[in-house]
Amino acid sequence: MGKPLIFVTNDDGSKAKGFNLLIEALRPFGRIVAVVPSEGRSGMSQAFTMSAPLFLNKIRDEEDVQIYECSGTPVDCVKLTFDYMFTDEKPVLNISGINHGSNAAVNVLYSGTMGAAIEASFYKIPTVGLSLCSHDADADFEAAIAFTKKLVPAVLAMEHKDIFCLNVNIPVARPDQIKGYKVCRQTRGYWREVFEKRYDPRGREYFWLTGSFVNWEPQAEDTDEWALANGYIAVVPVCVDMTNYEQCPFVERLLERL
Amino acid sequence: MGKPLIFVTNDDGSKAKGFNLLIEALRPFGRIVAVVPSEGRSGMSQAFTMSAPLFLNKIRDEEDVQIYECSGTPVDCVKLTFDYMFTDEKPVLNISGINHGSNAAVNVLYSGTMGAAIEASFYKIPTVGLSLCSHDADADFEAAIAFTKKLVPAVLAMEHKDIFCLNVNIPVARPDQIKGYKVCRQTRGYWREVFEKRYDPRGREYFWLTGSFVNWEPQAEDTDEWALANGYIAVVPVCVDMTNYEQCPFVERLLERL
């Protein structure tokens, strides 16, 4: 035993720069077991695999760092870890990331990084999803790593909550340009897609999805998008109860009319 | 124009019994355009396709019923429909289902049916996800269809809300055994998986995921699982803002310590 166990996962796979820098940053805090998808699985949300078997391969085996690849989704990685591998010992912390690309606003619903984080939080272990707002494979993670090294000991020292899952997004900036960190709410808005139509060599029509985020409240200073646009790290605690309590009375009246 | 446009999707594909019964039940209420995955896509959550092109094929073309198959996820079906097909006219109602299998409790987070419903609700059109609590391909949908026929005109007549998405789950029972319908909250709990380990012909280990839902509050009478277990149709309005507002002050104090 000795050092505490830290579980790491992501949706970009074992070769991603953000993942490898995270592993190095976490080494001083404990023994790391990482289980990540064997290929990039961005945009996989909370998807899991029902109709295919899962393969699991150990790809790195050091005393304090063990890394596995799983053939499934980010959520499959988490389920296999907790319900198959971690039968004797539970981790003290789960971290998903560091993702290449923002998971602020409605991205929390689509993100494989956050899907895995939410899944890991169900085991009542403090969980942090980390994302850098750049899709660049060689992005500058220095500010993200600096914040991670401050956040991790604070989360490890905090009093344990029932389900605790943070969605942390870091703007693209040098560490000395970051203005600080803000607890935010998820920005309202959605993705508007543009489908690029092409024809395959056999004349069949197909579509590539490309889109952009439409912010419905760009002026709202309590939102994660505002924080990021203004140089702050955005920290949103995630709720796994999707009930719209405000709408319940309206729905009550609707059902009375049936 | 004439009849109002109704959009239908699901995660079970065009051959599913629940889907085909839904189409027939909706005919009196408008023209139907359905876009469904070309194969079963259960458990796909809010996943969408970034790394592959999408194919779209019309498989049924009647005056009031048009059905398309899309090679992607349930969310891809919705995005292609709204951002590519429906450029001139928006539907008055979106319905996802009728799913074979419960999407109550935490299933709302994993469900392709509800992933599609949530996605469709972003277009500010009233949206209903419908699920029958049976995975049987030949399940008895009579109670589900009877409720759908009552719910649809009520939703069509209601005053328009900003984002409106219902998660409706119907217990397995004859219509006269259904006790009524209840507005509920999402039950707290999670899935506990059991991985069945096998070896392929080349000796490689692989895993099949099987699991069961663990209800953390089986006595709570305001939950969807309680309603279903007691013979009620469970109706949960879905919130797309995953911010955990209750935890914000706790996270504020946590960040102050960094």
Residue B201 forms part of a structural domain? no
Distances (CA, A) of B149 to A62, B1, B152, B234: 61, 23, 6, 16
Residue B32 forms part of a structural domain? yes
A252 and B183 in contact by Cβ < 8 A? Answer: yes
Residue A40 forms part of a structural domain? yes
pLDDT attached to residue B1: 55
Selecting from B46, B184, B235 the residue whose C-beta is nearest the C-beta of A110 gives: B46
Residue A206 forms part of a structural domain? no
* Residue in A68, A58, A64 with CA at minimum distance from that of residue A6: A64
A46 and B45 in contact by Cβ < 8 A? Answer: yes
ipTM: 0.96
Number of domains in chain A: 1
pLDDT attached to residue A164: 97
Residues of B in contact with A237 (CB under 8 A): 243-244, 247-248, 250-251
Residue B206 forms part of a structural domain? no
Provide the residue-wise pLDDT of chain B in tens; the chain has 258 residues.
589 999 999 999 999 999 999 999 999 999 999 999 999 999 999 999 998 999 999 999 999 999 999 999 999 999 999 999 998 899 999 999 999 999 999 999 999 999 999 999 999 999 999 999 999 999 999 999 999 999 999 999 998 778 999 999 999 999 999 999 999 999 999 999 999 999 999 999 999 999 999 999 999 999 999 999 999 999 999 999 999 999 999 999 999 989
Residue A231 forms part of a structural domain? yes
The amino acid present at A144, given as its one-letter code, is A
pLDDT attached to residue B162: 87
Question: From the CA of A158, how many Å to the nearest CA of chain B?
Answer: 7
pLDDT attached to residue A162: 87
pLDDT attached to residue B161: 72
Residue B24 forms part of a structural domain? yes
Bridge partners of residue B69, in order along the sequence? B36, B57
Question: From the CA of A69, how many Å to the nearest CA of chain B?
Answer: 12
Q: Quote the CA–CA distance of B57 and B49 in Å, as a whole number.
A: 17
CATH number for the domain including A30? 3.40.1210.10
Residue B207 forms part of a structural domain? no
Q: Quote the CA–CA distance of B238 and B186 in Å, as a whole number.
A: 9
> What is the β-pairing status of strands A127-132 and A93-100?
parallel
Reported confidence tier of residue A2, pLDDT bands at 50, 70, 90: confident
Residue B103 in tokens = 């999407």
Where would I find the H helices in B3-141?
17-26, 74-80, 107-110, 112-121
Selecting from A54, A106, A118 the residue whose C-beta is nearest the C-beta of B109 gives: A118
* Domain that includes residue A19, residue range: 5-187+218-256
